[in-house]
Structure 1
Amino acid sequence: MTDIRKLDTAAADFLPQLDALLTWESVSDRSVNDTVLEIIDQVRARGDDALVEFSNRFDQCGASSMADLIIPPQRLQQAWDSIPAEQQQALEHAAERVRRYAERQKMASWDYLDEEGTLLGQQVTALDRVGLYVPGGKAAYPSSVIMNAVPAKVAGVAELIMVVPTPGGALNELVLAAARVSGVDRVFTIGGAQAVAALAYGTQSVPAVDKIVGPGNIYVATAKRHVFGQVGIDMIAGPSEILIICDGQTEPDWIAMDLFSQAEHDEDAQSILLCPDAAFIDRVEAAIDRLLPGMERREIIASALRQRGALIHCRDLDQAAELCNRIAPEHLELSLADPQAYLPKIRHAGAIFMGRYTSEPLGDYCAGPNHVLPTSRTARFSSPLGVYDFQKRSSLIMASAQGAQSLGRTASILARGEGLTAHARSAEYRLK
């Protein structure tokens, strides 16, 4: 038995149980924090020498100099040539779909003249240089390369710097091939907090960037917290999450496997089903117990479902929507007969997968929308990664002679009211 908890919204203590289930502490402990701060200080002080030292200490790279941690462009082409044709086609298909979706997200500059002839507007420009962190070690994620790099390039980012740890010096050909198809400009085989520090502050070999994106472990996340302000960051991501709202008419095996799809990430991942059909919930539970033994990552799945998973019986689909907005999940599946009619009820979710045939992994790899999504209830106030994360806006103001009169008088009054005389006189000098 999986021991996934079963909850009922009719229970008097349901909401406290739900809130306890949703709680996840993302803060690093003091030892992690202290280690990260020491690494950042060393990289800032010693540059490349510190990167070589930490790469050898933490990843056993055997590097004798920084040159050993730089991947030349021809190596990306070599990786591309070495992978099977079906993997090449899959990477190209995924990258092209992400690119087409991202093209629709581009913001354009605009301006207008007000009634006094003053020009007001907004100029949109791309970031100059972005750093992309790609996890290494236990797993390789070419999909992360595509999802982070392609929108940056669509936005017009001039230089994209990728860092990827290579424990034991082992390079993942699929990750390098994904970098080639996504337009990555430079690659360094460094990881951890030292890679984040190098991207934020620059070293003799690694150029400082304007923003750092991409997932990583607790050391990477902690380092991103510390360098924020020196550079921009995408987000501090928590464990993966899926919430499924089902009317009880989908194949139970499909729902069980969809729950598995996030639970297999790690033991802290969260998989929740909301359904008004108690009998269907029982069938999903039976499917979980039957399918789990055949999963390669069954121990991780079982642990995640036991610790943070739930099958929740709700009053009706209206209540399911209310609970969804309270949960604000990273991934939301609407496994319903008419998901588009239901959609207006949903206010908070990172990505919404509509209909019985739309499994969450389609979004992870190739549908088009980004798989970098807000977690830990942050979908209440934040959005998926997109082209807009690699563009910035500058306000435009060009006062006409007439506009300087009315605007100058208003500015003068308000500035003197705030006691800022130089502000007032600066505006008043233009008055007739």
Structure 2
Amino acid sequence: MTHATYPISGHTAPGLNKGQWRIIFLASLGGSLEFYDFIIYGIFVQYISAQFFPADDPYVSLILSFSVLALGFLARPFGGALLGTLGDRYGRRPVFIASLGLTTLATIAIGLLPNYQSWGIAAPVLLVAFRLVQGICLGGELPGAVTYAVEAAPRRAGLACGFIIFCVNVGVLIATLVNLGIQHALPPQDVAEYGWRIAFLLGGVIGLISFALRRKLEESPEFVNLHDKAARHPLGELMRNHGRSVLVAAGVAAIIAGFNGMLYGFVPAFLVKTLHYPAPDVALAMTVALVVSSAGLIIAGWAGDFVPGRLILRAGSLTMLIVVVPLFALMANHAISIVLVLSLLSLVFSLASGIWPSILAGLFPTQVRFTGLALSYNMSVTLLSGFAPLAATILIEQTRMDAAPALYIALCAALSFWCSFLVPGRARAAAVPEATRASLDASDMPPA
């Protein structure tokens, strides 16, 4: 089995030049839109449910809307496998551009889609179709960005991937600010009527700008240097020769999927409705936690270029396993500030959040890297993020403990901790072909 390990422990890691930063920035744009869209749909789901799934029981309407969100998650592994296969077979660039373009069009279409009262059953059917398109395309977005980053800057894969995840967090922050702006500018009845559409249309504008910029993206240097050695059947080759790596990679990403699914899909409503924290306090805590996580993951990614990434993942997973239940218990008992709790959890989480992409990329060779990343990452996200709110609800009901959702995060952390021992030890740094090195070093600006 072939692995490609990038971080260079014990060696001098060069800086990133202007050309590399440009590629990494352009690759990161879609990841921001991905999480922007996820957060916006969750924020405005009650208004979407009223317009597209009218029912006598509002809870039935809400459940149907969340089911549409779940369908988008279920489409992701299929989309990841499909787009990853195309990216490994025909090139990263055309797949990367097409996926962002389709995602953007679907986001705009949702913002403009007439409601059930105007179009009848066609309205919810089209909503489901657009969400499926988004799910399929987004299944390859973040894995594609990580693939581009490590292939553009193989000797600084940790920092490059950390920046990609940082930009994902920027998407979450933009979604939060857009929500606050709409809620502040419009009365509640207008938010319910058309305000939520503004959020989707703004996402579409972001997508169009990102699409225009991404068209300037060159093909990945490592893929170009494959020449005629690109895999003819990447998915088949992946499963035949790298099946174990797929499972290990999915386990490595478990803490990411579980924590994000719980933090963004369950915790805000749980804190307000069940633990009765004031909504403004919850919004502040979530924003501060996001800032702390963003700063921490950049540092973790940078450190991954000097220290084996599996050790950073191991430290983060073990620390999360130890502290998550006590911190949740303190929060559930109103014994400590939720700003402090969520900030501490996010700081611990950032150790894993900043390093997992470069670890996953190092588990797969160039010929199947896009497919391997997309399949393993989306397996974790679909199973552990998509079902996190449901799992949390069941745990609280079965244990009668308000802190029970922490057990789910702890389980995910334990899985990532175990898988950190299955990640191959640091081999020699992956050799960078001379042609690739020349193309990356061609810049009029010295390394940063």
Indicate the structure with greater strand content. 1
| TM-score, L = length of structure 1 | 0.26
Q: Higher RCO, 1 or 2 (CA under 8 Å, sep at least 6)? A: 2
Q: Considering fraction of residues, name the structure with more helix.
A: 2
Larger Rg belongs to: 1
TM superposition score normalised by structure 2: 0.25
